[in-house]
Amino acid sequence: MRHPVVLGSVAFMLFLICIPLANWMIQHVGTVCVPNGPCLIPVAPGVMAPSGVLMIGAALVLRDIVQRLQGPLWALVAIGAGAIISLLLAPPALVVASGAAFLLGELADFAVFTPLQRRGLLLAVLASTAVGLVVDSMVFLTVAYDSLDYLAGQVVGKAWALLIAFPLVRLVRRVTPVAT
């Protein structure tokens, strides 16, 4: 079937675009930009998060889709390429934080998604993204800002991205009902 290959390729490209977009947003997009810190957006009443959370939340879901449609090898290629892009394009002050958070968060997502996808795509995406977004958030905030002050916002913001992406996950489930 040709549709999984095309959809998987689109997901791969969108995944790679999420990374530089997240790095750019954290420095330029927000309702408030903290001096020597991130630009913040509201993600819930009274809860702020660095603006890149939306793109990283989307990246976690897109990586799961790449794996479902193109297999684990392509998912690992995406993670490696994403980590390199993150290291190359992150603002100098965030290079290590961005690269480490991306790599560890995506690998955590991969480790949870891989065994769960045969039990159900929606469960696998939900569980793996939840684990990946917490790992990514904790590593990024600790390394970049030596603080977990924005952890709740990071988790909520990435969860919004997961909810927004769920219709795409349902489409993927219809296109490839069985894990590859």
pTM above 0.85, yes or no: no
CA distance linking residue 88 with residue 171, whole number of Å: 33
Classify residue 177 by burial, with Cβ atoms within 10 Å: 0-12, 13-18, 19+. Answer: exposed
Residue type, 89: L
Residue recorded with tokens 């997502």: 109
| Tokens 């390729």 belong to residue | 9
pLDDT in tens, the chain (180 residues): 457 778 889 999 999 999 888 888 988 999 999 887 789 999 999 999 989 888 888 888 898 889 988 999 999 999 899 888 888 877 777 888 888 998 999 999 999 999 998 888 888 988 998 999 899 999 999 998 888 988 999 889 888 888 887 787 777 777 776 655
The candidate with the shortest Cα–Cα distance to 86, out of 41, 131, 51, 56, is 56
Alpha-carbon span 155 to 178, nearest angstrom:
29
Task: Classify each residue of 90-110 as buried b or exposed e, where b means 16 or more C-beta atoms within 10 Å of its C-beta.
Answer: beeebbebbbbbbbbbbebbb
- The structural domains of the chain, with segments of one domain joined by +, span 2-175
Contact 13, 63 (CB under 8 A): no
What φ, ψ does residue 30 adopt, rounded to 5°?
170, 160
